[in-house]
Amino acid sequence: MPERIIVPFGPQHPVLPEPIHVDLVLEDEKVVEAIPSIGYIHRGLEQLVQKREYTEYVYVAERICGICSFIHALCYSQGIEHIMGVEVPDRARYLRTIWSECSRLHSHLLWLGLFADSMGFENLFMRSWQLRESVLDVLEDTTGGRVIQGTCKVGGVRRDIGQEKLDEMHRALDPFEQNCRDLGDVFLNDDTVKYRLQGLGVITKDEAYDLGAAGPTARGSGVAMDHRETGYAAYGDLGFKPVVETAGDCYARCAVRVKEVYASIDLIRRAIEEMPGGPIDVKVKGTPDGEYFSRAEQPRGEVVHYLKGDGSKHLARARIRTPTLANIPPLVKMLPGAQLADVPVVVLSIDPCISCTER
Amino acid sequence: MTVKEEQTIIDVALENLTSEVERVHADGYRLVQIGCTDIDGSYEVNYSFDKGYQFKNLRLTIGPETEVPSISGIYWGAFVYENEMHDLFGIPVTGINIDFKGTFIKTAEKYPFSVTRAGGDRCRNV
């Protein structure tokens, strides 16, 4: 039996923009066990809910993560609206959908770049991030912020998008989609990418479901689960089917994200075409008294905001379960059997977001 | 807003926790999360499960020093949430499949969300 050694992976590593640590137990170069640990930057944001008014906490929720910031604000706002029985105007639901899908687009393009970088495919990395810039430009143009938008609030949204701007966005979607399809063609069909990713870090459909995997990690293994199917925001009006792959390897998780880029473009296009008129918010009176598990689909998977109000202006509890936390057990199961050189690719394949995990 | 999901909350006693979780597992639910809330010096622990967007919660109410049996023998991935329960709230969880013994989440202060923690930065509603 070969001698076993432990190699620490992270918390500082060239492919990790944020700190996560995994102790890799190796036999020669092969991983036989992986033991993760987190908590290097835990911020205690859940406790902050008891010191901020429930309307102000939207800003905190949005700052849980710099990538899926808008969807955190949306999920929190929806939870409060459910507790207080607030009906959001139709136009606000559609605007929320457009900004949510812009968030997903720029998150997936960011991830595709990082993933290409982890494979050593540098010009694919640069092309992905070049396309991401145009999504950030749209977010900046329509909300004023590239990373933190600040447009979602309890009762609707703070900013509207004028018809002229919507038309401009609609016209830009066709060339943008063509660029994304050209990029996706490399990820899906390039021999180097396939050779590097296929058969690597496999989890089966049953394992993914039983381990509580979320988002593209679950859908890459054939679990057809996407919270947009429940119809929150305008997804119920627009209709939506999850993108699913079945191989359960790193290539399948990559393919899900590539195809979700196309799906997001389609959702934005239809949301613009079907955008209703009317107000963008309603006045919210009173304080939340009750509890609700609000759920939404982030780029990395299902996020849960458990909110509990006691009738005061502060919430008694906000508990946030982010998708990366749910995807740590699947990661622990994916790594054994991989070579040490493949570990960065496997770790990145769950799209770990540590600022979400360390909320 | 038409959200197609049902949410149920079922109170369970400590001695029935594992058998209830086994029943939920046998019914084909996946584990979504385990979360704690402090309620006047005790804890409310929500075990959340989902099957086809039906959201079911088993709710356990325990004192601060009460030992809770791990459900990681039923749901392997529960170790993440159970170590979090221990490291942030100080709730002793017995029989976790991967027990980090307090080192999973590294915090400057031990059990920062514990209801028994003293100091001005303590939870407002305790």
Chain B residues whose beta carbon lies within 8 Å of the beta carbon of residue A230: 3-5, 53
User: What pLDDT, on the 0 to 100 scale, is given for residue A68?
Assistant: 83
Is the whole model's pTM more than 0.90, yes or no?
yes
User: Which positions of chain B have pLDDT values less than 70?
Assistant: 1-4, 117-126
User: Which positions of chain A have pLDDT values less than 70?
Assistant: none
Query: Is A250 annotated as belonging to a binding site?
Result: no
Per the omega criterion (within 30 degrees of 0), is the bond before B92 cis? no
Domains of chain A: 4-357 (1.10.645.10)
Domains of chain B: 6-94 (3.30.460.80)
Residue B123 and residue A231: Cβ atoms within 8 Å? no
User: What pLDDT, on the 0 to 100 scale, is given for residue B3?
Assistant: 63
CB pairs under 8 A between A and B: 108
Whole-number Å distance between alpha carbons of A150 and A57? 11
Strands in chain A per DSSP E: 4-9, 21-27, 30-37, 152-153, 156-157, 289-298, 301-310, 315-321
Query: Does residue A235 sit at the B interface (CB-CB below 8 Å)?
Result: no
Query: Is A68 annotated as belonging to a binding site?
Result: yes
Query: Does residue A195 sit at the B interface (CB-CB below 8 Å)?
Result: no
AA letter at A123? N
User: What pLDDT, on the 0 to 100 scale, is given for residue B117?
Assistant: 58
User: What pLDDT, on the 0 to 100 scale, is given for residue A154?
Assistant: 94
AA letter at A48? L
Residue A314 and residue B31: Cβ atoms within 8 Å? no
**In angstroms, what separates the C-alpha of B88 from chain A's closest C-alpha?**
9
The beta-carbon neighbor of A321 closest among B2, B32, B113 is B32
Query: Does residue A325 sit at the B interface (CB-CB below 8 Å)?
Result: yes
Strands in A19-104 per DSSP E: 21-27, 30-37
**In angstroms, what separates the C-alpha of B15 from chain A's closest C-alpha?**
24
Query: In which residue are the tokens 């955190």 written?
Result: A72
User: What pLDDT, on the 0 to 100 scale, is given for residue A159?
Assistant: 95
Residue A39 and residue B32: Cβ atoms within 8 Å? no
**In angstroms, what separates the C-alpha of B9 from chain A's closest C-alpha?**
10
ipTM above 0.85, yes or no: yes
